[in-house]
């Protein structure tokens, strides 16, 4: 992939994930070209790649629009996530290498106790890092590539979950339980816990989605 196209791709995708470009917003290649000071051809090629990943939709003769977010889509993202993370813990628990376990445990090393009064952004990042690391350690390149896109889609809506603060201790305990089950080689137990954990997040976000979705369009 050419450097200019890659540049354009990374910048537009980041704008979408951080909601700088809002769901439903039109993206015009001439405007993006000016904004990022990148030619229209690499911008267009980046948009085609982003369309393929579901971040934008192309409308014939109208250009590209940032893809919208709805409850059905959130549900689908979390389902795929639950099953891809199950795949990852399966692989890890079938061959629980100490160096991999250590990488997972180190994510939580600086959290002295589960009641630490951590800011919301830190809570977000720990959870995200744990899940992205699970997938990375699976070493299934296809799953890694699928989840790279899925996590970014989820990123757009995750902070709608205002109950994350309440669920932090519960989530932390669940993360540690998953590590323990992997360590013990309990594949079935680890897969079950991952699914329970991810589906609980899904239910929580969906609970708040309808009443807070307008915030995505601010």
How far, in Å, CA of 127 to CA of 33, rounded? 35
The distance of closest approach from Cβ of residue 118 to a copy of itself in the complex, given in angstroms and rounded to an integer, is 31
Of positions 142, 210, 211, 215, contacts a copy of itself by CB under 8 A: 142
Closer residue to a copy of itself, CB minimum distance, 67 or 168: 67
Q: Tell me if 45 contacts a copy of itself by CB under 8 A.
A: yes
Q: Tell me if 58 contacts a copy of itself by CB under 8 A.
A: yes
Q: Tell me if 100 contacts a copy of itself by CB under 8 A.
A: no
Q: Tell me if 56 contacts a copy of itself by CB under 8 A.
A: no
Of positions 22, 49, 177, 212, contacts a copy of itself by CB under 8 A: 49
How many residues form the binding site for a copy of itself (CB under 8 A)? Answer: 31
3-class DSSP state of 141? helix
Q: Tell me if 176 contacts a copy of itself by CB under 8 A.
A: no
Of positions 8, 12, 82, 157, contacts a copy of itself by CB under 8 A: 82
Closer residue to a copy of itself, CB minimum distance, 168 or 209: 209
Closer residue to a copy of itself, CB minimum distance, 20 or 62: 62
Angle at 133 between CA 132 and CA 137, to 5 degrees: 125
The 21-40 contact track toward a copy of itself, x by CB under 8 A, reads --------------------
DSSP H helices, the chain, are: 3-17, 29-36, 40-52, 71-94, 98-106, 120-138, 141-158, 164-183, 187-212
The answer to whether 117 touches 169, Cβ cutoff 8 Å, is no
Closer residue to a copy of itself, CB minimum distance, 29 or 172: 29
Stretch near a copy of itself under the rule CB under 8 A, chosen from 18-26, 93-101, 136-144, 161-169: 136-144
What are phi and psi for residue 27, nearest 5 degrees? Answer: -115, 115
3-class DSSP state of 150? helix
Q: Tell me if 1 contacts a copy of itself by CB under 8 A.
A: yes
Closest C-alpha to 130, from 174, 181, 192: 174
How far, in Å, CA of 184 to CA of 188, rounded? 11
DSSP string, 164-209: HHHHHHHHHHHHHHHHHHHHTT-HHHHHHHHHHHHHHHHHHHHHHH
Residue corresponding to tokens 């990148």:
38
Binding site for a copy of itself (CB under 8 A): 1-2, 45, 48-49, 51-54, 58, 60, 72-73, 75-77, 79-80, 82-84, 86-87, 91, 140-143, 145-146, 150
């Amino acid at each position: 992939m050419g450097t200019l196209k890659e540049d354009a791709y990374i910048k537009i995708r980041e704008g979408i994930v951080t909601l700088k470009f809002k769901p439903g917003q039109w993206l015009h290649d001439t405007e993006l070209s000016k904004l990022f000071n990148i030619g229209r051809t690499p911008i267009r090629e980046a948009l085609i790649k982003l369309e393929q990943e579901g971040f934008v939709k192309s409308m014939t003769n109208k250009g590209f629009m940032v893809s919208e977010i709805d409850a059905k889509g959130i549900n689908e993202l979390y389902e795929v996530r639950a099953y891809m993370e199950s795949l990852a813990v399966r692989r890890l628990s079938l061959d629980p290498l100490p160096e991999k376990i250590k990488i997972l445990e180190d994510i939580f090393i600086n959290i002295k106790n589960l009641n630490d009064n951590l800011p919301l952004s830190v809570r977000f990042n720990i959870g995200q890092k744990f899940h992205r690391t699970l997938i990375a350690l699976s070493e299934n390149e296809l799953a890694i590539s699928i989840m790279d896109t899925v996590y970014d889609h989820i990123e757009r809506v995750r902070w709608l979950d205002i109950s994350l603060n309440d669920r932090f201790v519960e989530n932390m305990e669940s993360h540690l339980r998953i590590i323990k089950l992997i360590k013990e080689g309990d594949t079935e137990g680890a897969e079950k816990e991952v699914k329970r954990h991810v589906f609980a997040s899904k239910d929580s976000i969906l609970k708040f989605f309808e009443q807070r979705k307008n915030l995505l369009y601010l």
